Chain A
Amino acid sequence: MEKRKNLQMGIIGVLAVAVLFMAIGFAAYSQTLNINGDVTVKASKWSIHWDQSSYQLSTGSVPLTSETGLPTLSNTDVNFTATLEKPGDFVEFSIDAVNDGTIDAQLTKITMTSSVTAPYLSYEVNYNGTTYTSTTDNIGLDLGAEESATVKVKVSYVAVADSTQLPANDVNVTVGANFDYEQVA
């Protein structure tokens, strides 16, 4: 019977150790809630630029020649010079904006500037089929990775009904268009 009692005491001891072990262990784990994981962050590329090879001068417009001035193209800038001699003349060209990176982008704003505002001058930008004639916010057009969008720029010498509105002298006009892209989350 002494054996039975000793067994009983031994089991009480083991029980105490087991309950204490569980108490300490669960308390230790509940101190901090950790989320552990292995994540590989792939190298990403943010690259939106003009595709110079896609540049096209529309037919019927004022030619941009080596004499009149060929446009200069780079990945981020398109610069051109044109002379519009009479109402009806226009210069129009298209070039593709391409998303060459791994991150999706969204066109958020087109900022259009013109040093001259006059009834004989028309300046518009067409982005993938939609025409803009002034600065526009919150556009929200997506340009996914490896996608491209066609941008057409057209500057026209407009025929006005009132000839007095036509310029009496040569007018130098500087127009500009900035395209703002943001990364899509």
Chain B
Amino acid sequence: MSQFLEISGLCAQIDADGQEKQILRGVDLSIPPGEVHVIMGPNGSGKSTLSYVLAGREDYEVTAGTATFHGQDLLAMEPEERAAAGLFLAFQSPIELPGVNNANFLRTAVNAVRRARGQEELDAVAFLKMAREAAKALSMAPDMLKRNVNVGFSGGEKKRNEVLQMTLLQPTFAILDETDSGLDVDALRIVAEGVNRLRAPTFSALVITHHQKLLDYLVPDRIHVMARGRIILSGGPELARQIDQEGYTKFLAEVA
């Protein structure tokens, strides 16, 4: 069976004030279906860039390498096509949409991907029922569906709102970019449970995090360490604990 997500030799740069800046320098990564993989690594190592490039953010220019998703050339697809194909990115800093009602946004998004996936669109009543149940499972206040998307949300509310969107959009591959940052212990557990509910033989996730705490709840299959735009080390769940105790310096020195 061909790999679910296959990234090979991926290089990407960004144009920063007229200067091209290389950020990804040959990322190799494959994630089989049903697995949760974790990327750890020091700040500035390219973790968020990898998530943006996979989701199709146009500020980044892919200069070499490939990425396939379900055997399709991911890099040739528009961001919304990737979403319809089942890719979801939980943003590190969720974006505010002033004046746009959260429930309306969610329904528009859900129906857009349902349409693209050949599924029937949901009417307002069916959608609201589904959204309310999902929000309740994430211990979100009911009024969050009525508020404007992420406007005036606390850090924790924004992260939960990301997980709510993920739940409703039913992706087969989710990237969580530091979804645990800024969450208290209870919120962390609720978010982790939200991810765990999606776990299935057909669902994979790539979790970017700095903290072991989230991994206690998520129980990942593989840990990858990223530095200077490359995956420099991969291992089992014990690697995360080791990093948590000893820091990155030792690992970086070893590969240097």
The answer to whether A and B interact is no
Report B's interface with A, CB cutoff 8 A.
none
Report A's interface with B, CB cutoff 8 A.
none
